[in-house]
Structures are given as C-alpha cells and as structure tokens.
Structure 1
Amino acid sequence: MAKRRKLVAPSSADLTKLEEEFRRETSVPEPAASQVRGVAPIAKIAADAAAVAQPASVADRARQAQLEASEAKLNDAQTEGRLLVDIPVGEINADAMVRDRAALDPDDMLELRLSISANGLRLPIEVYELPGADGGNAPKFGLLSGYRRLMAVRELLGLTEDAAFKTIRAIIRPKAETDAAFVAMVEENEVRSELSHFERGRIAVISAQQGAFLNVEDAVNKLFATGSKAKRSKVRSFALIFEELGDMLEFPDALSEKRGLKLAQALRQGGEDRIRDGLAAATYATSDEEWAVIESVIETLDAPVRDPKRGGRPRAATQVDDWGHAHQFVSSNGVSVSPKQDAKGFVLRFEGRDLDAELMDGLMEEIRTYLERS
C-alpha cells in the first residue's frame, strides 16, 4: 500500500509569495486595472455627465442670457441694415446703379471735401452686398446713397494719401427691390441737394428703361409720390425732353422750368426732328446760345407751312365768340372756364390772372389722364 503524503498548511510567507506571483502574471494597464478593481466604464460616463450637468450659478446664468440677447440684437441689426461698418473705398462700386445726378458741382464738392477733412464724415453712406462677390479684386458692395460723399473721400485719399480716407463709414442695407432703391436715392438727393428739373426727368426715364418700373408714368408717380400733381407733371415734361433730345443737348441742366415746359410742348406738337436738325446745324458755347437755337425753331412750329400741293379750300378761321357763359364756372383762385361747341367738337376757354404755362401744363396732363381712364 502506498504511503499517503501528509498535507501541511502553507505558512504566511508562502501565501504572500503566491499572491505576488499571481499579481505579476495577471497585471493589466492602469485604466483597465481600475476597471478590474470594480470601476465599470458606464459608471465613469455617468460621473462625467453628472459633472457637466451641474447647475451653473445665478450670476453665470445671467451673464449667459445677456450674451445671447446681445448676439440676437447684433444679428437683427445686421439683417435690418442698422449696423455701421468701415469699408475700404476700393470695395464699393459707385456705379452699380445709374445715378440720378448727371453732374457734380465743383464748388459744392470742394466745400464737401473741406468739411470731411476738418470734421470727418458726419453721415454714413449706404451700400448693399453685390451678388457673387468672392473676395477677389472686384467690388464687394454697390452704392445705394451717398455718391457725393464717396467721391469726396476718394478725392481726399488721392490728394493726401492719408490712411484715414482708405475706408468710409457705411451702413450695409439689405438688397432692396430695384424700385425701392431708386426711390431711396431720389429722396436723399431731393432733401440734401435738390435735383435739377432735367435730372428728375432723366432718372424717371432711365429707371423705367432698366425695368424698375412699368413705364415712365409709373416711375414718376412712385419716385415723386410726395410731390404735387403739378410737380409730377413738370417731371413728365422733362422726361420727354430727355427721351427726345437727351443726346443732343449740351446744357440740359441749365434749362429753367419755363423754358423746359415750352420745349416739351413743342415736342408734343411733333417738333422733335426740326429741333434736332436745328441743334445739329448750329454752333453755340453757352446755355443761352443753345436755347436761342431751340427757341428759333419753336417759333417756326407755331405757324406750320401748308403744303400747296394738297389743294382744297382754305380753312375758315375758328370763331372764338359765343362762348357758353351759361355753363361757365369760376374757381376759387379766380380762373374761369367756359365751354363752346362747334361742328368739330368742344372747346374750353380758360381765363384768369393766375393762369401760366405751368398751370396749363398741369391741366392738360389731368385732362389726358381723365380721358385715358374713361
């Protein structure tokens, strides 16, 4: 029979040695060791989330709310075009829109340059972002208003090379509809530096040609909506002058209201070709000389030459008596209107001290508008 071995309990030293050998054989990296010792990954994630979710203090929450409100106001100001920025003058296209002012007065520009040089730019210009601006050398902004101020700053930069004139204070407006942009431009110049009669007519025609308005009539009504009917009637007259003679006149801005209305009436009578021929054949150096040429042609329109080849009886002179006084009325300003009927139709006679070319032009326009509506 085999002899059984006697079991002897290990000593404490043996137990310590066994434990050390076990630890060496089963050692793992520190993060994993922490997990082996009972720290599960989900517990660590939960601890981190709890730390982040700890409620901030009252002061921190108030500061965060204030920052969010300020950011919202800044975004609103930028979206609505209420934010002032400094823009390099080279990044602005001054001719992105056709300007209503045909020429700049040298004396006015000198005065403006001196003012900006001494006091800075008191009023910002208005621009809008051009579509497709990609950071190249092409202008990034189109000018809405402030043409004279932009030109003055550019001239100062060229004269002084001062870094202060390399940028100009501006408001970036949202890209408005074209008609609204034209209206804003006209309103600014009407208030700050009144346009000439010819410039008003010119911008009405150009804006209509560019499709901002249905036609010249629509352009005049919207561009000068706050003006009186008489003023809009005058604008239409000068718009006609620009359409028919804009390429021929050397001194259009010098046309006074009286001369312009007389010229417009001659154009309505069909005198365009004869006036153009007269201007082309004449030599003149001043606005008065130019007008003398025009007026000499207009005087020939008052007595048209009858073609003798047409034959027939000479027409009887129009009778101007026997006016219908029974139907006459007198306006509050003393102008009387009397009707008369003959074989050809009706005639109205206007009398009164306050009658002038401007009033008659307005009356003719009102009659035309009324007849076209009926």
Structure 2
Amino acid sequence: MAKRKRLTPANPDFLGAAPETKSMGPLGGMRAPIADVASQASATAALEELSREMQAARQAGRMITALPLSQIRLDHLVRDRVASDDDDMATLMASLRDRGQQAPIEVVALGQGEYGLISGWRRCTALAKLHSEGVGDGTVLAIERRPDDASDAYLAMVEENEIRVGLSYFERARIAVKSVEQGVFETEKQALLHLFRSASRAKRSKIRSFLGVVRALDGALRYPQAIGERLGLQLSAALDQDADLGPRLCQNLTNSAPQGTEAELKILADAVAPNVKTGSVKAKTVTEEPFSTHIPRSGLTVRVHKGDGRVEISGAALTPDLRARLLLWLETPTS
C-alpha cells in the first residue's frame, strides 16, 4: 500500500507583507480637480461681491466706521457754532461716558489717511477729552460723505446744527460771511440762498440784517450767540446809520471785557439806545417780536409768546432728564 503524505498548515512567515492601502482612501472620497477649481472660483466671486457692496455702501454714506480721532481735521471747515459752553460739553461727555456715541459724525476723505470734519465738532471734542482721561479707545464713529463741492459740505454742517440745537441769527449770518471769505460762494446773497434755502424769505431777510453786525463786531464779542433778534436788528440799523459805531463798539468791548452775557448785552443795548430815542433809526426798521426770549443759562432758550402765553423751551441743555424733571414739577400740585 502506498504511503500517504501528511499535509501541514501554511507557515505565514513564508509570505511577504501585504501592500499598505490606508493612504489610498476610499474611492468615493476622491475629488476631481475641476471641483476644487469651481469651489475656489465661487469663494473668490463671493468675496469680490462683498467687497463691492462694502465699497458702494461707503461711497453712498451708508456705512459707519470707527476712525482714529487723530486723523480727523476739525478745522476743515469754518465752524458755524461760535461758542462751546462748558455745561453743555460736560453734559455731552457724561452721556458719551454712560451710553457711548449714539450718532456718527460726518467726514470727507482728504487722502493720506486724513478726514475733514463736516459735522460733529462737539462729539469729536468730547471724545478727545474723554480719551485724555483714559475713557474710550480714541476713535469716533463716522460716516464718509462725498459732497460735490465745498458749498454742499457747508450746507450739511448748517443743516445738522439747525436740526439738532438751532443756530442764533448771528451764527447763521457769520457762516454766510465766512463762506464768502473762504471763496466757497462769490456773494453773501448766494451764500444765504444756498445755506438757508429751506428757510422762509422772512427768516433769510433777518439773517441778512445780521451780516453787518458780523462784519463790524465779529471777534470783539464774547457771547454773540446771545444777541436776540430785536437787539440784532437795532444794531444793524444803527451800524448802517453811523459808520464809526462799529470801531467804537469794538473798542468799548475790548476795554470793558464783559464777564457774562448780561454785561455784554447791556453794552450793545446802551450803544443803540441813543439812536432809538432820538429817532435817527426809524422805528419801522425794528420789527416787534411776537414773543419774548430769555436765556436762563447757556444752551437753554425760553420763548414766551405774547398772544396765547405759550412757552417754548429749546436748546442743547434741554436733556431728556431735564425735560422729565420739568414735567414732574408741572404735574406736582402747588400748596
């Protein structure tokens, strides 16, 4: 009988190692090069579209950006506000400290990282003072405007102040005079028609009457914003009648150095009183005001109408807190 051959299990040591396949990955995970190219193109297109939208928003004045205060030129335009009240500034600083900046300023790009201020001088000044005290990051929220020319920039400044706190007749006339001196307008008539085009003809006429007061007394007055309509019209008429009145008044104001609005207004009233009494200035040139104006403190104007007794209170110092306290006082019954 033939002898059978015994079979033994295979020895794994005789076989070589299988090739490593973990780096190959599943076939389903492989991406064609065209897919990567399409994805990158889509991302690039989206980024370019976003950039265009942001640029368009910036040019249209729809984007608010934070700009360093050091890059804002406050003297880009001749300012229409002739005085900055300490109480008003303290109130504004307190509001900025507690609530932050609520309204952006308006600027125009000047190149080389600089911006010219159009409106918002008080906010810039208050933020700079706060930053010097260690409050804030030294930036201001701003909207970039692109006025067609300098006249539009001046118009934006005037309209912003007219809406927010209102300008005195002296300040309105002064910005008209200064804009002509700066070459923005050729004549004062053009300046009045452009800067105060939304005002009535009667109001522009009163502003025009103050032009002579500005030319004669600007720089000599410490509290020009306190000159009321009636006194201003009297001064205008007196200056027209007496060419030497302007220099005399300037000298008197310099020598007297009045401390406070009442003292300065008395000097002006005394200067026109002789003309009013003797009749050298016709009474019809002074229009009777339908209301009396009182300035209990800087930044607060109270008008009492003579007809119906209506009382109007306005000004930068009329804060929401003061308004609430006034209403509470009025609602409290008197004993």
User: TM-score, normalized by length of structure 1?
Assistant: 0.60
Structure 2, unaligned stretches of length 5 or more? 1-31, 291-335
Residue 180 of structure 1 and its aligned partner are, at CA, apart by 0.2
Contact 2:64 2:141 in 1 (8 A): yes
- 1:229 matched to 2:201: yes
Aligned to 1:146: 120
Contact 1:128 1:142 in 2 (8 A): yes
Aligned to 2:83: 103
CA gap 1:211/1:357 in 2 versus in 1, 3 angstroms: farther
Question: Which of 270, 274, 283 does residue 245 from structure 2 map onto?
Answer: 274
Amino-acid identity (%):
35
Residue 176 of structure 1 and its aligned partner are, at CA, apart by 4.0
Contact 1:209 1:215 in 2 (8 A): no
CA gap 1:299/1:105 in 2 versus in 1, 3 angstroms: closer
Aligned to 1:90: 70
Q: Which amino acid aligns with 1:151?
A: T
Contact 1:126 1:144 in 2 (8 A): yes
1:1-374 to 2 correspondences below 5 Å: 54=34, 63-131=43-111, 133=112, 140-159=114-133, 161-162=134-135, 164-174=136-146, 176-269=148-241, 271-278=242-249, 280-281=251-252, 283=256, 284-301=258-275, 303=278, 356-357=287-288
Aligned to 1:332: none
Contact 1:261 1:357 in 2 (8 A): no
Q: Which amino acid aligns with 1:84?
A: I
Give the whole-Å Cα distance in 2 for the aligned partners of 1:176 and 1:261: 35
CA gap 1:293/1:64 in 2 versus in 1, 3 angstroms: closer
SS in 1 for 2:244: helix
Structure number with the bigger relative contact order (C-alpha 8 A, sep ≥ 6) is: 2
Contact 1:244 1:272 in 2 (8 A): no
Aligned to 1:365: none
Aligned to 2:14: none
Q: Which amino acid aligns with 2:251?
A: A
User: TM-score, normalized by length of structure 2?
Assistant: 0.66
Give the whole-Å Cα distance in 2 for the aligned partners of 1:144 and 1:72: 26
SS in 2 for 1:165: coil
Residue 184 of structure 1 and its aligned partner are, at CA, apart by 0.1
Contact 2:238 2:272 in 1 (8 A): yes
Q: Which amino acid aligns with 2:96?
A: I
Structure 1, unaligned stretches of length 5 or more? 1-50, 306-349, 360-374
Give the whole-Å Cα distance in 2 for the aligned partners of 1:208 and 1:86: 33
Q: CA RMSD in A?
A: 2.9
Residue 65 of structure 1 and its aligned partner are, at CA, apart by 4.2
CA gap 1:304/1:146 in 2 versus in 1, 3 angstroms: closer
Residue 74 of structure 1 and its aligned partner are, at CA, apart by 1.8
Residue 67 of structure 1 and its aligned partner are, at CA, apart by 3.2
Q: Which amino acid aligns with 1:288?
A: E
Give the whole-Å Cα distance in 2 for the aligned partners of 1:127 and 1:60: 37
Q: Which amino acid aligns with 1:117?
A: R
* Greater gyration radius: 1
